[in-house]
Amino acid sequence: MFERIRSDFWYELVNSPVTVVSAIIIAVMIIGCTFAPVFAPHTPFDPATISIMDNNMPPAWADGADPRFLLGTDLQGRDVLSAMLYGGRISLLVGIGAVALSVVIGMTVGLLAGYFGGMTDAVLMRIAEIQFAFPPILIALLFNGILKASLPADVFAQAAVPIMILAIGLAGWVQFARIVRASAMVQRGQDYVTACHAIGLPTPTIILRHITPNILGPVLVLAMLQIAVAIVTEATLSFLGLGTPLTQPSLGALIQIGSQYLFSGIWWVVIFPGIMLLVMVVAFNLVADWVRDYLNPRLR
């Protein structure tokens, strides 16, 4: 894959300001959220540092605001900006973790099915086809819902992040399996694979060292698109109360908390996490679109 980063990479990138801006936004969000304890002005989920006296402060530019809280505070006096940084960390962690799991499962299934063909292919792809008929968000929702209904509440709350990574990752592998299988079938017929056989390389080496690097391009594009989907799925599950616990809210859970106070005019608790979620998702989508066009020069 790496030899495909051609000399025109930076030229193409600079010619697409939208992509540059999106990539910068993603980088800023990843750095800001990963080091949330460093950047956040407050520690919103430590009861010792929040004061109920600071509750429902509007953003800094509105009347009656406190300059300590740039984007205002929520009902319990937590700083909205800090909560967003901590929440974004969970959203990004689940989004990227779930896609990593999908990639691992999908590539394994796709390579096995595409390389070996025959019965292996028929059985694996039939399973994939059945799962493909159900929307991933529904699978993740039911998986999480069944676990939530069957595990004790405190156990579920503790394991919420790994459970969500598992649920969303298991719901999303089929698309990876399909594109990897299609590419693997093409690669299998190439001369270099025959050459590998001729010099007596073992099959696992051929698949991992020689075929895999040639199919990473489309996987990369799909992975970027799927991160956006996984972040939305995580936010949705948390919004429905099936995801992160309220003591450790992700962006979706923050929006859910805020949505309960819409009618009291406290709009900032909903709007700012909502904007952050939307910007994050759109940025990932735009970068993925650009990478796809870049790797597929016919579309230019």
Partner 1 sequence: MFFLLARLVQATVVMLCVALVGFLVFQFVGDPVLSLVGQETSVEDREALRESLGLNDPILLQYARYVVNAVQGDFGISYSFNRDVSEMIADRLPATIELVMLSGVLSLLLAIPAGIYTGIRRKGGIAQTIMALSVIGVSIPSFLLGILLILVFSVWLNWLPSFGRGDVAVMFGMRSSLFTWDGLSHALMPAAVLCLFQLGVILRLIRAEMLEVLRTDYIRFAWARGLPGQRVYFRHALKNTLVPVVTAIGLQLSSLFAFSIITERVFQWPGMGSLLLHAIGQSDIPLLAAYLIFVGLVFTISNLVVDAIYVLIDPRIRHGAL
Pick 148 or 210: Cβ nearer partner 1: 148
Residue 23 or 201: which CB sits closer to partner 1?
23
Backbone phi, then psi, for 73, in 5-degree steps?
A: -130, 165
**What x/- string results for residues 249 through 278 when contact with partner 1 is judged by CB under 8 A?**
---x--x---x--xx-x-x--xx--x--xx
Among 285, 292, 293, 295, binds partner 1 (CB under 8 A): 285
Residue 210 or 289: the one with the smaller Cβ distance to partner 1 is: 289
Binding-site member from 61, 282, 296, 297 for partner 1 (CB under 8 A): 282
Q: What residues numbered 91-150 form the site for partner 1, per CB under 8 A? A: 126, 130, 133-135, 137-138, 141-142, 145-146, 148-150
Structure-token match 């694979």, residue found: 193
Give the shortest CB-201-to-partner 1 separation in angstroms: 37
Of the pair 210, 292, the CB lying nearest partner 1 is at 292
DSSP 38-67: HH-SS-TT-TTT--GGGTTPPPTTSTT--T
Q: What tokens appear for 236 in the block?
A: 């949705």
Size of the site for partner 1 (CB under 8 A): 37
What's phi and psi for 74, nearest 5 deg? -95, -165
Torsion of CA 261, 262, 268, 270, to 10 degrees: 90
Q: Which of 177, 281, 288, 291 binds partner 1 (CB under 8 A)?
A: 281
- What is the DSSP annotation of 159-222? THHHHHHHHHHHHHHHHHHHHHHHHHHHHHTSHHHHHHHHTT--HHHIIIIIIGGGGHHHHHHH
Minimum Å distance from CB 99 to partner 1?
17
Question: Three-state SS for 300?
Answer: coil
> What's the alpha-carbon Rg for the chain, to the nearest Å?
23
* DSSP three-state, residue 73: strand
Rounded (5°) CA angle 190-196-201: 145
What is the nearest approach in angstroms of partner 1 to the Cβ of residue 140?
Answer: 10
Residue 291 pairs in a beta bridge with none
Smallest gap from Cβ 265 to partner 1, in A, equals 7
Q: Is 16 in the site for partner 1 (CB under 8 A)?
A: no
Residue carrying structure tokens 């205002």: 72
Least distance from partner 1 to the Cβ atom of residue 282, Å: 5
Place of tokens 């025109």: 8
Can you say how many angstroms the Cα of residue 82 is from the centroid of all Cα atoms in its chain?
21
Residues between 218 and 247 that touch partner 1 (CB under 8 A): 228, 232, 235-236, 239-242
Closer Cβ to partner 1, 25 or 137, answer by number:
137
Smallest distance from partner 1 to CB 258, Å? 8
Q: Identify residues 19-78 at the interface with partner 1 (CB under 8 A).
A: none
| Closest to partner 1 by CB, 149 or 199 | 149
Pairwise CA distance, residues 192 & 178, whole Å: 23
Residues interacting with partner 1, by CB under 8 A? 126, 130, 133-135, 137-138, 141-142, 145-146, 148-150, 228, 232, 235-236, 239-242, 252, 255, 259, 262-263, 265, 267, 270-271, 274, 277-278, 281-282, 285
